[in-house]
Amino acid sequence: MITRRTAVAGTLLAAPALAYAQPMTKLKAGMVTGIDQIGLPIALERGFFEKQGLDVDIARPYATGVDALNALQAGESAIVQVGVPMIGAVVRGMDLVALANYSGKATARGSDATMALIARGDSGITKGNLASLRGKRIAASFGTINHLYILALLEKGGLAPADVTLVNTPPPDMTVALLAKGIDAFVGWDPWPIVALKDVPGAVEIIRGGDAISYVGFNVALRPWVAANGPTIEKFLIAVSEADQWMRKNPKPAAQVATRWIPGLRQDIAETAMEFNIQQADRRLSANNYRAMHEALDRLHRLGFLRSTFDVNKHFEPKHMVKVMQDHPALFADLPSIPADAAIGPGFVFRP
């Protein structure tokens, strides 16, 4: 467990002294080893949680959102940052609620700038030609956003999942698998594509982003905890929203934070990855985020990876984030405005 105290050692904090004199609310949070998750530890290191009266411990970064949800169910965390794994968990009966984004766009339908497909130089896969994936071994982490991304890329290239061999692989192991020639290519979230381009001789970026999917990345908790902790949730969301804004304005220092939280991450790789990350570091919620979850659910079900679907409205609780957006507009002043036809408020119901 990486605690608030160890994480902030040697870091200058800006929290008002008054915050230290008030009773602190303890909270355990979880994250995954992705550059897009770094708003959470930034809020810790910069003192934004303490500023809100929260004493936050962050669990060790998990390899995937599936691992983070297992930890949530086991009580290791009260709130975690996950995306597509939430969908599979809900289908299996886990009563999860999305509270805000940790990555994605409230302003647009497409957002996948932090995703890429990387291939060996001798794989026969050619840049810009997704049809050349046919017959190849491609690593993905099943049930995660990179699984959703490769399914979308295959459809875009006129292929079906059966036209390739998908190999279930945790993101930190993908570069090693590519180097050992156990796979022809992999899809992943940053920093892993950037690591591979630097560490695997001849590796080629076949595609980055492309708006193939709408990014699905939420602050998620179990429904009973959400129902009982409204004020704590709002304080948490204020703190991470402030962290996001600091990250957008200070990408290089934010990259340095990432090197302390993602094992083995080098500063040069973190800085490259952060430039993509800040393009979709938007904690706000809109109809676009409901649509992102719905479209992900629909694709996974249509292609046979999920046995059933659900009403996405039942697994969002937007009121806390909407209140933060209304009460603290300065935290989002550097972001584009949410289009009127995507804005949400009390009583909002998403209709596909």
Q: What is the pLDDT of residues 282-335, one digit of tens each?
A: 999 999 999 999 999 999 999 999 999 999 999 999 999 999 999 999 999 999
Given a cut of 80, whether residue 269 has pLDDT beyond it is yes
Residues 6 or more apart whose Cβ sits within 8 Å of residue 83: 65, 103, 144, 145, 215, 216, 217, 218, 296
Of 303, 340, 315, 26, residue with least CA distance to 150: 303
Residues 6 or more apart whose Cβ sits within 8 Å of residue 48: 15, 42, 238, 239, 240, 242, 243, 246
Residue ranges of the chain assigned to CATH 3.40.190.10: 4-108+215-342, 115-208
Across the range 159-173, mean pLDDT stands at 96
- What letter does residue 64 receive in the DSSP assignment? S
Q: What pLDDT band is residue 346 in, cutting at 50, 70 and 90?
A: confident
Laid out side by side, the sheet with 204-208 consists of 165-168, 137-140, 185-189, 115-119, 204-208
Given a cut of 60, whether residue 85 has pLDDT beyond it is yes
Residue-averaged pLDDT of the chain: 93
Of 216, 241, 233, 234, residue with least CA distance to 89: 216
14 versus 270: which is more confidently predicted? 270
Q: What pLDDT band is residue 1 in, cutting at 50, 70 and 90?
A: very low
Given a cut of 80, whether residue 13 has pLDDT beyond it is no
Check if the beta carbon of residue 176 is closer than 8 Å to that of residue 139: no
Find residue 28's DSSP bridge partners. Answer: 57
87 versus 23: which is more confidently predicted? 87
Q: Tell me the fold of 115-208.
A: D-Maltodextrin-Binding Protein; domain 2 (3.40.190)
Check if the beta carbon of residue 343 is closer than 8 Å to that of residue 292: no
The HSE-up count of residue 163 (CA atoms within 13 Å, CB side) is: 15
Please count the residues of the chain: 352
Q: What pLDDT band is residue 239 in, cutting at 50, 70 and 90?
A: very high
Residue pLDDT, tens place only, 99-147: 999 999 999 888 899 999 999 999 999 998 999 999 999 999 998 999 9
Residue pLDDT, tens place only, 25-49: 999 999 999 999 999 999 999 999 9
Given a cut of 80, whether residue 12 has pLDDT beyond it is no
Looking at domain 4-108+215-342, does it have CATH number 3.40.190.10?
A: yes
Is the torsion defined by CA of 257, 259, 263, 268 positive or negative? positive
